[in-house]
Structures are given as structure tokens and as C-alpha cells.
Amino acid sequence: MDRPMTTRRHFLRTAAALAAPFSPAPHAAESQPQLMHTRPIPSTGEKLPIVGCGTWRTFDAGDDAARRRELADVLRALFAAGGSVIDSSPMYGSSEAVAGALLAESNTRSKAFIATKVWTDGRAAGIAQMEQSMRFWQTDRIDLMQIHNLLDWRTHLATLRDWKAAGKIRYIGVTHYTSGAFPQVEAVLRSERIDFVQINYAANDRDAEAHLLPLAADRGVAVIVNQPFGGGSLLASLRNRALPGFAQELGCTSWAQLLLKFVLANPAVTCVIPGTGRRDYMIDNARAGVGVYPDAAMTQRIADAVA
């Protein structure tokens, strides 16, 4: 699961658009923000916008009308920037129901790539939970269903394959949020055919670089990165530190953008999903989806800067 979001120092000046090494989405009108780049999902070639929105804690708003209005603004900002991925889970409290209601109220389901999870033991319980998720999301098809933290993954993977064949879900995947589980994740990647894997990766959490990211690329598996801010602790530690001058070379105007570009520099990464419940943070995060990305030398400079 994701970790709590912490307060961050944010810089919200508009960055200059730079040429990018990955395929960009079409440009918006001049008065609108530049749309973020996309990368292909290896199993189909479908293009996926590279910055999404995580919902752990941030979308657990229940019936709080004021918070729900703020979250509606977050989703509007995501879509305006060309983003689509909204990641949630049954373990995230009311997040699925809140996000689903907001999409229905704004009639924007077609703009969203819904990624959620199954998180329980047993086939019958898994089916019941996924059916509940569909009701929460107010849809008859989920774009990506993931087995959360590999819980009872063998049982659920069989169900997910059946549901994919029946058209109830479009893609299947597995997730984890801690490097200690990487050997298990690696074993699943080596033994099973799946579309996505979701793992933790950040400038101060680089274990995925050794085996998992290269393996995912070799196996043709899309990678969603959670905890790109080190679970929030990394961004909090940088709150009172000046952004290094070299960030300008990447078009970055905030630490958040720089940390996201570190993650996106790895070509195995398909999408990154920083969690946020604030419109200004969503706008700031989305700006990491445009421009250029660090080469190996610049990636190391970023890691050194946050060490």
C-alpha cells in the first residue's frame, strides 16, 4: 500500500516546454497546458499518460462535500493535463466510491484509466470484492485490476484471467509497496504472463533498478510506480532546501517534478502515480509529464542531491 502524503514545498511557475525522447500526447490549445507524454503498454501498444493520481488516504473523503469538491478539482486538473490513470484499492476506505461518484457526476469516465485492486483471501471473497469495486466505480469494466500486495495471488490470478476473457477487465497486474517483497514479485514476473506490475521506486529507494525494472522490460510488462516521493518522507526532507540549479536543464520548477522525472527517466517505467488531494499539487505533478528526462549522469546528480 501507499504511505501517507506529507506537506511539501511547491513551486508552481510554468516551466518551458522542451523536446522529449518519448512520444508526446497531442498539444492542447495554446491557452491550455501542454499535454503530458504517453508511453505504450507493452502487451497491447495502447498509449498511457505517464503521470497519474494515487488515492491512498487522499480520496478517502466519505460524504464530506467540501473535500469532494476539492477532489473533483484534482481530477479536472489531471484530465486537463492529459492524464488518465487513477489508482485505488478496497483498502483505501471510501476512495473508490468517491472517485467513482466524481467521474459519474462529471461524466468523465471515458477520460479515466481506472486501476484498482483485489485485496482479500479466497476466490469467492475476491469475486465479491471486485464486484463491489465495480459498483463503487459505477462501471461494468475496470481498466486494470491488480492483486494488492500479492495477497492470495494464485487464486485471484485465475479469476482475473477469466474476467479479462469475459471483458470485465482490460488488463491484469500485481502490486507491492516494499522492496522486501521484490523476490516474490520477481518470481511472479518470471512465471506468469501479466500486463502490469506496480512497485515502489524513488530517488532514495532504488532497489527496483537492480532486477525488477529490467525484468519487467524483458517480459513486456508495464510498470506503475508508487511512492515516488519515498512515501512522502523524501519530499518532506527537501521542504526547506533550495532546488538545485541543474533542475532548470530538465524544465523542473519544484522538487516534486524533479523526483518524478528521476523515476520517469527509467524507460521501463510506464506511469507514476503520486497521491494527492490538492489541485495545485496535481498541476505541479503533471508538469513532470512534459519536457526532457534525465540521462544516466543527471539521474545520479538527482540521487546525490537528495542523499
Confidence (pTM): 0.89
Band (pLDDT 50/70/90 cuts) for residue 32 is: low
> Average pLDDT in the 121-134 region?
98
For 29-43, 68-82, 275-289, which range has the lowest pLDDT when averaged over its residues? 29-43
Q: Please, how many CA atoms are within 13 Å of residue 245, restricted to the half-sphere of its CB?
A: 0
- Looking at residue 224, its amino acid is I
Asked, for residue 245, whether it belongs to a domain, the answer is yes
Residues whose CB is less than 8 angstroms from the CB of residue 91 and which lie 6 or more positions away in sequence, other chains included: 1, 117, 119, 148
> Average pLDDT in the 248-275 region?
97
Task: List C-alpha distances in Å: 285 to 4, 24, 93, 261, 302.
Answer: 17, 16, 24, 10, 17
In sequence order, what E strands does 95-141 have? 113-118
Asked, for residue 36, whether it belongs to a domain, the answer is no
Cα–Cα distance, 237 to 256 (Å, whole number): 12
Asked, for residue 297, whether it belongs to a domain, the answer is yes
Asked, for residue 295, whether it belongs to a domain, the answer is yes
pLDDT of residue 4: 36
Q: For 188-241, how does the pLDDT look when each residue is reduced to its tens digit (9 = 90+)?
A: 999 999 999 999 999 999 999 999 999 999 999 999 999 999 987 899 999 899
Asked, for residue 133, whether it belongs to a domain, the answer is yes
Q: For 66-120, how does the pLDDT look when each residue is reduced to its tens digit (9 = 90+)?
A: 999 999 999 999 999 999 999 999 999 999 999 999 999 999 999 999 999 999 9
Give the total number of structural domains in the chain.
1
- Looking at residue 80, its amino acid is A
pLDDT of residue 20: 36
In this model, does residue 142 exceed pLDDT 60? yes
Q: Please, how many CA atoms are within 13 Å of residue 260, restricted to the half-sphere of its CB?
A: 31
> Average pLDDT in the 29-33 region?
48
What is the chain's Cα-based Rg?
A: 18
pLDDT of residue 33: 66
Is residue 118 within 8 A of residue 90, CB to CB? The reply is yes
In this model, does residue 1 exceed pLDDT 70? no
Asked, for residue 240, whether it belongs to a domain, the answer is yes
| N residues, the chain | 307
Look at residue 68 and give its three-state secondary structure: helix
The domain spanning residue 273 has which CATH number? 3.20.20.100
In this model, does residue 13 exceed pLDDT 80? no
pLDDT of residue 34: 87
In sequence order, what E strands does the chain have? 38-40, 47-49, 53-54, 85-87, 113-118, 142-147, 169-175, 196-200, 222-226, 269-272
Domain of residue 268, residue span: 46-306
Asked, for residue 182, whether it belongs to a domain, the answer is yes
Cα–Cα distance, 45 to 11 (Å, whole number): 34
Q: Cβ-count burial of 243 within 10 angstroms (0-12 exposed, 13-18 middle, 19+ buried)?
A: middle
In this model, does residue 249 exceed pLDDT 80? yes
Asked, for residue 256, whether it belongs to a domain, the answer is yes
> Average pLDDT in the 125-146 region?
98
